[in-house]
Structure 1
Amino acid sequence: SILRLGEYKSDENAVYFMGLDPVFSAFARLYIRDILQMTESTQVPGIYFYNSHPIYKVDVLGTVVYKRERDDFFCYGVDDSTGVINCLCWKMRGEPQTSGAQGGFDPVAEMRKLQRAQQRRCRVEIGELLRVRGPVKTSRQQREISASVFYKVDDPVMAVQIAWMMELPELYRQCYDKPLQLQSNTTRYQFLKSKATNIIRDFLNQKSVVKFRPYDVQDLLLPLVNSQPQEHVAGPSGCQKLRQLLKEVLQTLQDEGFLYRKVKSQDEVYTVTGQDKELVIAVKDVIREDSKREKYAEKGCHVLHILSAVRQRYSLNLSKAALELVLKSLECNSDIISSSDSHYTML
């Protein structure tokens, strides 16, 4: 099924998904008319909605139709032929300090030239073309743009304006006028799986569990699965989906090294890596003994050598991820030290 934000009764629902909408991260190129008519979020101040797309910063190009100057900023009225919006453009302050360079290239002098050139570009007169990028805000019940970037555009043959007018309708067709679509089942299930993984991990840590079987922890996920929309647990397949979710959670924890199976058999027993004291002793013994050998005396034992030795002594099914978790714990406790990214030796 497809989740269509544009079909929501209220744009406020889209605020929960705004990080998934690429429009939210971009300077939206909108007609000024649409910027003035956007509705503001009541939940997150400074966020506006156009066709359910969350927007907080825009990019506009238009002609200056009025100008007000203050000590710290300019107020330019920008008109793109669909509407006029007030743009608050801060003046640049400060001059570079005098350089001590004697002859040759003087970076401070060059920086001063660049600043003066920028100041000239930022001082715009009525009738000139101005481009403004920045967040939208509402001040005194009036919509305006607080410019983060603004500059005068030299466009004697109107090439920039023509390109802009041709680009905007295409952006509206391909992006702004289309509601955001998410694969709701996939997104929802990934969230469910992540939450279930945290539940199992937290329980095992809090209870200091060393070994367990899947049915020992399965009921922990039952309230989580039952709280999902009906299609996830409908009818007799609910138990099957619960077992499938638990299977994927246990596999994730194995991939992270948090769990491993010491012996693979029909009796599905998982060992919590951090609680396996015998494993910790086996790893320390390998490093202690082999670090004394001439081959490993200088750099210490490589992680793959430690893995091979521990597998032979303790468990053939130990994963590299689980071993690295043990090594990290031993290093944090100052039992061993890493002589390089992949070598370990005793203190």
Structure 2
Amino acid sequence: MDSPHSLHLVHVKLLAADLLTLTSRHTSPPSFARCGRTVTRAEIVGVVVSRDRREKFLRFLVDDGTGCVPCVLWLNHQYLNANNSSSRGSDSDPTAEMALRMSEVMSLGTVLRVRGRIVLYRGAIQIAVRDVVLEKDPNVEDLVLLVNVHVIMVRIELNMREYGQPHYHLVRIAIEKEKQSNQRYRCSMLIWLMRTEKADILGVQP
């Protein structure tokens, strides 16, 4: 029976920054943990910023403003169902056909909602895609970025008791830069603040 702290069958909505820093457990197959809970599947929303189509798979990067998540969509059913020894005759494979249809919507600059298994490839985390939804609302990208910034800000506010006013001051500078710019700030300052040790933050000059 799964642990009450396991999210084994749930596609957990994660920021790219959180997904890429999950703790890998030495199991077979590899499993991952976040805040003490086992996470095996994820959902992310972002912009396709890189695309590499091969014969058997499509590899692409999804940027949600906090980082870029490598994703792979397998186009051949042999990988998706490795134990399937059925005939390879003229009958079409619905799984492969669905994967091909999904690959057609993944052009550069499109906003996608991606769900799939979290896997390791050459020591790096990526998503083995299960399904993809094209977000047709032109405001989705900005909305996702704002939600991500809000999540980060909540975490920073919770950490202010430990880091003190210098930390708060740097966060406000990042917010003002966002307000004054016509381009999205991409949250890099905020992510950096979250990952930096207390001593470094107190010594940083913006």
When normalised by structure 1's length, the TM-score is 0.34
Change (3 A) 1:167 1:62: closer
Change (3 A) 1:22 1:41: closer
Does the residue aligned with 2:8 lie in a helix, a strand or coil?
Answer: helix
Q: CA deviation at 1:151?
A: 3.4
Structure 2: which amino acid aligns with 1:138?
L
Q: Which has the larger radius of gyration?
A: 1
Q: CA deviation at 1:91?
A: 2.5
Structure 1 residues 119-175: Cα deviation after superposition (integer angstroms, max 9, x where no partner): 45532111111221111111112211011112332222x1476268549967xx8xx
Compare the two structures and name the one with the higher strand fraction: 2
Once the two structures are aligned, what percentage of the paired residues are identical? 20
Given that 2:66 and 2:148 are in contact with CA atoms closer than 8 Å, whether structure 1 keeps it comes out as no
Ranges in structure 1 where 5+ consecutive residues have no aligned partner = 1-16, 99-110, 174-347
Q: Which has the higher contact order (CA 8 A, sep 6+)?
A: 2
Q: CA deviation at 1:92?
A: 6.6
- Alignment correspondent of 1:79: 63
Give the number of equivalent residue pairs: 139
Given that 1:77 and 1:86 are in contact with CA atoms closer than 8 Å, whether structure 2 keeps it comes out as yes
Ranges in structure 2 where 5+ consecutive residues have no aligned partner = 78-87, 155-206
Change (3 A) 1:44 1:51: farther
Structure 2: which amino acid aligns with 1:125?
S
Whether 1:138 aligns to 2:138 is no
Change (3 A) 1:22 1:138: closer
Whether 1:122 aligns to 2:103 is yes
- Alignment correspondent of 1:89: 73
* 2:40 aligned to which of 56, 77, 96: 56
Given that 2:61 and 2:68 are in contact with CA atoms closer than 8 Å, whether structure 1 keeps it comes out as yes
Given that 1:65 and 1:79 are in contact with CA atoms closer than 8 Å, whether structure 2 keeps it comes out as yes
Does the residue aligned with 2:20 lie in a helix, a strand or coil?
Answer: helix
Given that 2:111 and 2:141 are in contact with CA atoms closer than 8 Å, whether structure 1 keeps it comes out as no
Compare the two structures and name the one with the higher helix fraction: 1
- Alignment correspondent of 1:24: 8
Q: CA deviation at 1:54?
A: 0.7
Change (3 A) 1:132 1:168: farther
Given that 1:46 and 1:56 are in contact with CA atoms closer than 8 Å, whether structure 2 keeps it comes out as no
Q: Kindly report the root-mean-square deviation, in angstroms, between the aligned alpha carbons of the 2 structures.
A: 3.6
Alignment partners' CA distance in 2, 1:148 and 1:54: 19
Structure 1: which amino acid aligns with 2:74?
W
Given that 1:30 and 1:168 are in contact with CA atoms closer than 8 Å, whether structure 2 keeps it comes out as no
Given that 1:26 and 1:57 are in contact with CA atoms closer than 8 Å, whether structure 2 keeps it comes out as yes
